[in-house]
Amino acid sequence: MVTVKQLPREEYWLPGHAACPGCPASLGLRMLGKALEGRFVLVVPAGCTTVIQGMYPKTPSRVPLLNIAFAASAAAATGLRAALELRGIDVPVVVWAGDGGTVDIGLQALSGAAERNEDILYICYDNEAYQNTGIQRSGATPPGAWTTTTPLGKRERRKVAPLIVAAHRVPYVATASIAYPLDFVEKVRKAVSKRGFKYIHLHAPCPTGWRFPPSETVEIGRLAVETGAWVLYEIEDGVLRLTGRSASLLDPARRKPLEEYLKRQGRFAHLFRPENEQLLELLKMDIQENWEAIRSALERGGRIL
Ligand code: SF4
C-alpha cells in the first residue's frame, strides 16, 4: 500500500486556475500528477477540465496536454500513442474526461479504442452531470437526481460504464473515488504498468451541481462509498475484486444508511417528499442491482463474463 509520504512533494497542477472551490476534478488531477510523477501526456475533451486548463499559453498544467473535441478523446489518444511510439518515446497517454465525454458523447471512440486494446489509460472523472455547461443530466446521472434538465428528478437509470468497458475484455478496469486518494494512486500506477487498454472510473462529487458546501467534497465522496452508493473495485483480466473500504461492505448490514449520503445534497432534497417515494425506490434499486451484479461475479470467482 502506497503511503502519503511516498508521494512526490512536487505539484504538477499549479494553483490559480478557474475551478470552483472544492472542485473534485482539480483534486483528481493533482493526485494523477503525483501518481505518475508528471511523466505522462494528457488528453482532455470538453468539460470542466477544459475550463480549468485555461487558454494557451496561460495554463496551470505542468504536463503536455492536448485539448480535443468532445467525441474524440480515445481516438486522439490512440493517434498520440502511435506518434510517440514512432519517436521511441515511452510515456503513458492518459485521457481525462468527464462522464458526459465518456458515457455519452465519447462512448463510440472509447469502445473502439478498448476493442482494439490500444495502449492508453482512460480516466473518467464522474461528477454525474454536464456540470460546467449548467448542470444538465448525463447517462451517468443517478436516478432521482435533480439537474437543470431533470427538474423533477431523473426518471432513468444510469449506464454502468466500468462494466461496459470490462465487457470489451480489456486488461484492467477499476473504480476509484477522490475521497480515497491512495487507492486511486495505486490503481493509476497498476494501470500504467500494464500494456493495452486501461480504464479507471473516478467518482467526483461536485459541490456546484450536487448542491453541498465546497468544504465537504471529500466527506461526500467518503459517504458515497460507506453507504454503498459508490463501490470501489478493480477488474484484472476479467476478474473482479472489491478493493479498499468497499471490500468489507458486500454485506448491506455493514453499510451506513443511504439517507446519510442523500440528505447532504440539495440535488436529492425532493426525494424525501411523499410524492417522490417511487423515485427514491428507483435509486435504491439501481444501487442494489449494482451490488447484485458484483455479488454474482464474486460467486463465479470474480469472473464478469
Ligand atoms: S462544476 Fe463541479 S466539477 Fe466543474 S469545475 Fe465546478 S466544482 Fe469542479
- 133-153 per-position pLDDT tens digit: 999 999 999 999 999 999 999
pLDDT (tens digit, 9 = 90+) per residue, 99-126? 999 999 999 999 999 999 999 999 999 9
Share of the chain above pLDDT 70, in %: 100
For residue 22, the model assigns a pLDDT of: 97
Asked if 250 and 291 count as a contact pair (C-beta separation under 8 A), the reply is yes
Cα-Cα-Cα-Cα torsion 225, 226, 229, 231, nearest 10 degrees, comes to 40
Nearest one of 158, 5, 28, 24 to 94, comparing CA atoms: 28
Q: How far is the CA of 133 from the centre of ligand 1 (A)?
A: 10
Mutation probe of ligand 1 site: the residue of 27, 133, 206, 217 with most atoms within 8 A of C-beta: 206
What pTM value is reported for the model?
0.98
What is the position in ligand 1's atom list of the atom closest to the CA of 207?
7
Q: How confident is the model at residue 56 (pLDDT cuts 50, 70, 90)?
A: confident
pLDDT band per the 50, 70, 90 thresholds, residue 167: very high
DSSP 30: H
13 C-alpha to ligand 1 centroid (Å): 16
- Reduced to 3 states (helix: H, G, I; strand: E, B; else coil), residue 237 is coil
Does residue 55 have a pLDDT over 90?
Answer: no
Which residue among 13, 17, 23 is best mutated to probe the pocket of ligand 1, counting the most ligand atoms within 8 A of its Cβ?
23
| CA of 214, closest atom in ligand 1 | 7
Percentage, residues of the chain above pLDDT 90: 97
Give the C-alpha separation, 117 to 131, whole Å: 30
Q: Which residues line ligand 1 (CB under 6 A)?
A: 19-20, 23-25, 48, 127, 131-132, 206-209
Give the residue, out of 99, 202, 208, 220, with the most ligand 1 atoms within 8 A of its beta carbon, to mutate for a pocket test.
208
Rounded CA gap, 183 and 254, in Å?
20
Closest C-alpha residue for ligand 1 atom 5? 19
> What's the pLDDT at 247?
98
The C-alpha cell that represents 276 in the structure block: 417522490
Q: What is the pLDDT of residue 15?
A: 86
Report helix angle 73-86 to 107-115, nearest 10. 40
Q: How buried is 164 (Cβ within 10 angstroms: 0-12 exposed, 13-18 middle, 19+ buried)?
A: middle
Q: CA-to-CA distance for 118 and 159, rounded, in angstroms?
A: 23
Contact 240, 160 (CB under 8 A): no
Nearest to 30 by CA among 56, 3, 49: 49
Interior CA angle at 102 toward 263 and 171, to 5°? 105
pLDDT bucket at 302, cuts 50 / 70 / 90: very high
| Distance between CA atoms of residues 269 and 146, nearest Å | 9
CB neighbour list of residue 35: distance below 8 Å, 6 or more residues apart: 7, 184, 185, 188, 189
